[in-house]
A and B are shown apart, each in its own frame.
Chain A
Amino acid sequence: MKMANPLRGEVLTLYKNLLYFGREYPKGADYFKRRLKAAFLKNKDVKDPEKIRQLIARGEFVIKELEALYFLRKYRAMKQRYHLEDDKTK
């Protein structure tokens, strides 16, 4: 990652985006940050652009998963709090 690899920018953007998503993580932002950093450091010596692209794609997949997780959590909480009658009438 220290080389002037053209994908460096993409990797950094991915890291920043993931970090932003981690703020709302149910197990805590610190837990998320530690795991995120460890995951990125584990792959810091990967040089092959194809492999880097695959890892970036995996990171973007994680972002999609987090979006879905956050939405479902919120939806379920709101439904539980505001739509109790659903269980009775529907």
Chain B
Amino acid sequence: MAELRALVGVKRVIDYAVKIRVKPDKTGVVTDGVKHSMNPFCEIAVEEAVRLKEKKLVKEVIAVSCGPKQCQETLRTALAMGADRGIHVEVPESEAERLGPLQVSRVLTALAQKEKAGLVLLGKQAIDDDCNQTGQMTAAMLDWPQGTFASKLTLEGDKVTVEREIDGGLETIRLKLPAVVTADLRLNEPRYATLPNIMRRTTRQPGRWEATNPSLHRPPSVVLQPLPVQVYHCTYS
């Protein structure tokens, strides 16, 4: 489907190799100054979307991240891996802690409809909260079929065949597009976002970083040029 658009959700989490420390007041985990990176399962989702694009089965790969402005780092990595555009849904730092699968799936639902995506690719779960809910909730809100824990994905026309890792083995299902798929560990081996690729995506469009400066507060409808990263501001209760 050369017209297919893939929406990939990427989450910024504490790096998998970091030794987590609990805050002294026991209200949470120390995040200040701690190394963050893209959720490993989200990396696998991005890799799958980019591979589909390279096979010319997907026209455009759009990466999405919800959270404070540091999420743009994660989006940069996604762009360096091969995504075409990045959408940063900015949530103020104070409210970011309350951001959970329910809110994220609402955002993804709205964006999938807005961007007319035919495939939503997510990691199966985030390594910080291990919720394993966003993909499933998004599919329910969109009323799309879902193929979760995908270890193999094959696009054929308007259908996608998903091999799922389930308790006790593998299950193969065929879904009619549009659909939501969540990536499991064995789906693929993600490429490393090398420095040349990151630099290439940063310098290609000179006006890019000014546009993503939060102080500009440009509403999405006014952004006429196709800049790689769009910033939507949202608050929620």
Contacts and interface: CB of A to CB of B under 8 A. Distances in A.
Whether A and B are associated in the same complex: the answer reads: yes
B185 A82 contact: yes
Given A17-B194, A17-B196, A85-B167, A71 B189 contact: yes
A17 B199 CA distance: 11
Contact of B185 (A26, A70, A75, A85): A75
A79 B17 contact: no
Contacts of B190: 71
Q: How large is the interface on B (under 10, 10 to 19, 20 to 34, 35 or more residues)?
A: 10 to 19
Main secondary structure of the interface of B (DSSP, over half): loop
Nearest to A81: B127
Main secondary structure of the interface of A (DSSP, over half): helix
Contacts of B127: 78, 81
Contacts of A79: 185
Nearest to B130: A82
B182 to A, nearest CB: 13
Task: Name which of A26, A73, A75 has the most chain B CB atoms within 10 A of its CB.
Answer: A75
Contact of A77 (B16, B168, B192): B16
B60 to A, nearest CB: 27
A30 interface: no
Contact of A89 (B17, B40, B169, B185): B169
B222 interface: no
A32 B16 CA distance: 20
B216 interface: no
A51 interface: no
A74 interface: yes
Interface of B: 16-17, 40-41, 127, 167-169, 185, 189-190, 192, 194-196
